[in-house]
Amino acid sequence: MEIRNYTQNDEIGWLRCRVLSFLDTAYFDHVLKEKEKYKNPSIELVAVNEGQIVGLIDIEYEMNEGTVCSRGTGLGGMIWHIAVHPEFRRRGIAKQLLERAEKLANEKKLNRLEAWTRDDDWVNMWYEKNNFKKSDSYLHVYLDSGNELNEQIRIVLPNLVPVHAFAHYVGQDKEYIKGKFKRVHECSCYEKILC
């Protein structure tokens, strides 16, 4: 297996790896049709096995404090994507990607990494195992048609009928919200201080 910089020719393999790796997570429906292009500089790595992309990590980083990350002081990098193809999990690929990205981040004088993820226990445990600390959280709330949506959303445009809605809940009564709606995910911020 080789870890190398992402190239434009990797886009289809990157997309396939990402969608397959997310299918059994709380992000199962967060499908991308094309890879993002970042406004700021980025570290974009792929793990390749026999010509197939089996892992990826994307970190957009700051040239000016506070332009990408939401926590901490100094220059940080935001992990927007980290994923390993399901058939290649448990081989240390994510750890290798992270270690290579951290080396590059240190060379770029970044002092921390930040990542946001939903409430899959195994994903949260991976961050903790790799020396990230949870620093904050809020809720991702999905509302479906029927009472769940109609009781919460007021539409003022005639003939516009909402079918689904997605919202962020940043209040303090998380347990109430979790009990009120069928699909709610806690989205947690993890931070890692770099040496």
The model's pLDDT over 13-36, given as tens digits with 9 standing for 90+, comes to: 999 999 999 999 999 999 999 999
Of the residues 119, 134, 149, the one at which a domain ends: 134
- Residues 105, 179, single domain; the answer is no
Give this prediction's pTM.
Answer: 0.93
pLDDT digits (tens, 9 = 90+) for 52-105: 999 999 999 999 999 999 988 899 999 999 999 999 999 999 999 999 999 999
Q: Residue 162: pLDDT above 90?
A: no
| Rounded Cα–Cα distance for residues 164 and 149 (Å) | 7
Is 128 contained in some domain? Answer: yes
| Rounded Cα–Cα distance for residues 53 and 99 (Å) | 18
**Which residues are 2's β-sheet partners?**
48
- Residues 35, 89, single domain; the answer is yes
The parent domain of residue 13 ranges over 2-134
**Model pLDDT, residue 151:** 81
Is 189 contained in some domain? Answer: no
When pLDDT is cut at 50, 70 and 90, the band that residue 150 belongs to is: confident
Check: CB of residue 110 under 8 Å from CB of residue 101.
no
Q: Residue 145: pLDDT above 80?
A: no
Of the residues 117, 134, 151, the one at which a domain ends: 134
| Number of separate domains in the chain | 2
Which residue has tokens 């991976």?
Answer: 126
Q: Token pair for residue 103? A: 């080396």
pLDDT digits (tens, 9 = 90+) for 96-110: 999 999 999 999 999
> Cα–Cα distances in Å, from 1 out to 12, 90, 92, 111?
19, 14, 11, 29
- Residues 88, 165, single domain; the answer is no
- Residues 96, 163, single domain; the answer is no
Is 195 contained in some domain? Answer: no
**Model pLDDT, residue 67:** 95
CB atoms near residue 57 (< 10 Å): 25
- Residues 162, 93, single domain; the answer is no
**Model pLDDT, residue 128:** 98
Q: How many helices (H) and strands (E) does the chain have?
A: 5, 8
- Residues 155, 127, single domain; the answer is no
DSSP label of 88 = G
Taking Cα atoms as reference points, which of 95, 97, 18, 82 lies closest to residue 10? 18
- Residues 102, 174, single domain; the answer is no
Is 33 contained in some domain? Answer: yes
